[in-house]
Amino acid sequence: MYAVNVRDHVMIAHSLRGTVFGPAQRLHGATYVVDLELRRDELDADGIVVDIGLATQVLRDELARLNFRNLDEVPEFAGHNTTTEFLARAIFDRVATRIAAGAMGPHALPGAASPGLTQMRVTLNESHVAWAAYEGALPVQPRP
């Protein structure tokens, strides 16, 4: 299995519901370093997993939709605790949609004539000692 990782960051504000979150129940900020790992079984015709420039741009675009936002006010997150784990899945789903739409090129498409991307992992690093991730197969199966 081959893999390529690109990295960016996002700054958000949010509050979390539930006593388990202690002081994080109040509005607070977080800066996440976000890793996007893309995997495939075999290299494409150009000898790469994916175009790193395209992968970087897709990640940057999706994080820009969240950057400097209060996630408590994002309609698609209404009713959810925007935990690090939840955000990892949300970013995963957004990037997977972009991959399926061809944003990382035709060789990246899962199920393309040449085997495309088969797996992806999104990791949100809260600090140098804590992180959460979501990973799964591509193409993504709809959520139940």
Task: Return the pLDDT at 134.
Answer: 98
pLDDT tens, position by position, 16-57:
999 999 999 999 999 999 999 999 999 988 999 999 999 999
Task: Return the pLDDT at 107.
Answer: 86
Task: Return the pLDDT at 109.
Answer: 85
The Cα 115–Cα 125 span in angstroms is: 30
Task: Return the pLDDT at 115.
Answer: 74
Amino acid identity of 115?
A: P
Burial (CB count within 10 angstroms: exposed 0-12, middle 13-18, buried 19+), residue 66: buried
H helices of the chain, where? 52-64, 84-100
Q: How confident is the model at residue 58 (pLDDT cuts 50, 70, 90)?
A: very high
pLDDT tens, position by position, 69-105:
999 999 999 999 999 999 999 999 999 999 999 999 9
Domains contained in the chain, CATH given: 2-45+67-116+126-137 (3.30.479.10)
Q: Helix (H, G, I), strand (E, B), or coil: what is residue 9?
A: strand
Q: Helix (H, G, I), strand (E, B), or coil: what is residue 29?
A: strand
Task: Return the pLDDT at 45.
Answer: 87
Q: How confident is the model at residue 141 (pLDDT cuts 50, 70, 90)?
A: low
The Cα 120–Cα 80 span in angstroms is: 23
Q: Helix (H, G, I), strand (E, B), or coil: what is residue 13?
A: strand
Pairing mode, strands 28-40 and 119-125: antiparallel
Q: Helix (H, G, I), strand (E, B), or coil: what is residue 110?
A: coil
